[in-house]
Amino acid sequence: MTGAVPGPDGRLRCPWALSTEDYVTYHDEEWGRPLHGDDALFERLSLEAFQSGLSWLTILRRREGFRTAFDGFKIASVATFTDADKERLLADAGIIRNRAKIDATLANARLLADWPAGELDTLIWSYAPDAAKRPVPRTIADIPAVSDESTALSKALKKRGLRFIGPTTAYALMQACGLVDDHLSDCVARGKA
C-alpha cells in the first residue's frame, strides 16, 4: 500500500487527498484537527451518517446545502423541525434526500436538545484514545476502519438514543474531528492539530 505522495505543490499528503481540490483543502485544513462544540460535533455526526454508503466527496460538495437546509446544524433549531420541514428536506436537491438519514438527524437533534450544554462534546471526546499509544500510520493500509474506541463510542451514543452511528461511522467521526490523527507519518498535515 502507498504512503504519502506529493501533491501539485510538491508537499507530501495522504493519497486520498489528492484526487480533487475539495479533498486537498479538507485534508489540509480540517481532517484530523480537533473540533469541539455541541453544534459543530452534531454537524459532523450528521454528515458522517449521510455519508454512509456514499463518497465523502459527495458530502463535501453538498456541505453548504446541508448547512442551509439544517439551519447551520444548530441543535436547538433542528430539534424544532416539523413534518413540513422534513418534507422540505426530502425535496431539497442540495442535500442527500435519504428518508432514514433525515429522520435520524431530526431525531438526534431532538434528543440532543435535552442534553446539558457541552455534554455531547464531553461524551465524544471521552473516547479519544491516548495518542502516545497509537502507532503512527506509514501507509493507508495501517489505518483501521474501526477501533475499540469507535466501537465503544458507537455503543455509548446508541445507548443514549442516537441513531445512524455504527462503529465505522464513529471511527470516521473520530478521524474528522481530531480524536485520532490518521495523517500518514510523512504527510504535511501530520501533527498540525
Alpha carbon distance 68, 93 (integer Å):
12
Is the pLDDT assigned to residue 43 strictly greater than 70?
A: yes
Q: Is residue 193 part of a domain?
A: no
Summarize the annotated binding site for Zn(2+) as residue ranges: 14, 27, 183, 187
pLDDT-based confidence at residue 193 (cuts at 50, 70, 90):
low
Q: What's the number of domains the chain is made of?
A: 1
Contact call for residues 44 and 35 (beta carbons, < 8 A): yes
Contact at 8 Å (CB) between 81 and 109? yes
Who's near 149: CB < 8 A, 6+ residues apart? 127, 128, 129, 174, 179
Task: List, as residue ranges, the binding site.
Answer: 14, 27, 183, 187
Residue 143 within a domain: yes
With 80 as the cut, is the pLDDT of residue 117 above it?
A: yes
Q: What is the pLDDT of residue 136?
A: 96
CA–CA dist 132, 112 (Å, integer): 32
Does residue 185 fall inside a structural domain?
no
What number is the average pLDDT over the span 148-169? Answer: 98
Pair 49, 100: CB distance under 8 Å = no
Q: How much is the mean pLDDT over the chain?
A: 96
Q: Cell for 2?
A: 502507498
In a domain, 20, yes or no: yes
Give per-residue pLDDT as tens, 74-84: 999 999 999 99
Asked whether residue 182 is assigned to any structural domain, the reply reads: no
Active-site choice (16, 30, 56, 125): 56
The active-site residue, picked from 23, 26, 31, 127, is 26
26 tagged catalytic: yes
Query: Is 23 a member of any domain?
Result: yes
Question: Which residue range(s) make up the domain with 29?
Answer: 5-128+135-177
Q: Is residue 58 part of a domain?
A: yes
Q: What is the pLDDT averaged over residues 58-77?
A: 98
Q: Which of 23, 31, 43, 48 is catalytic?
A: 48
Active-site annotation holds for 56: yes
CATH number of the domain to which 24 belongs:
1.10.340.30
The residues near 146 (Cβ < 8 Å, ≥ 6 apart) are 167, 168, 170, 171
Q: Per the domain annotation, does 191 fall within a domain?
A: no
pLDDT tops 70 at residue 1: no
Q: Which residues of 88-115 are buried (b: 16+ CB within 10 A; e: fewer)?
A: ebeebeebbebeebbebbbebbebbbee
